[in-house]
Amino acid sequence: MKPISEAHVAQPGLAVVDVAAYDDQTALAIQELLAGQWATAPADSTTRVPGEPGVRLRCYLDVRQELDS
């Protein structure tokens, strides 16, 4: 994964979340849970790192913007 940009954490309430999971479905389900709570810039797909188990996913959150239930 690329290094985290300063712009992604430039203000309180902005966060970068890295997910490591067994498979694509699990990683995307975690992202969906986060997106159901806060404004999220979702990842389109997961990545696999050769020699490492599972998949990785990175998404960006703005926890200042709670979504309506």
pLDDT per residue over 38-54, tens digit each? Answer: 999 988 899 998 999 99
Looking at the predicted structure, is the pLDDT value of residue 3 above 70? yes
User: Whole-prediction pTM value?
Assistant: 0.80
Alpha helices for 5-53 (secondary structure H) = 24-35
In this predicted structure, what is the pLDDT of residue 68? 67
Residue ranges of the domains in the chain? 6-66
d(CA 21, CA 29): 10
DSSP code string of 10-23: SSTTEEEEEEEESS
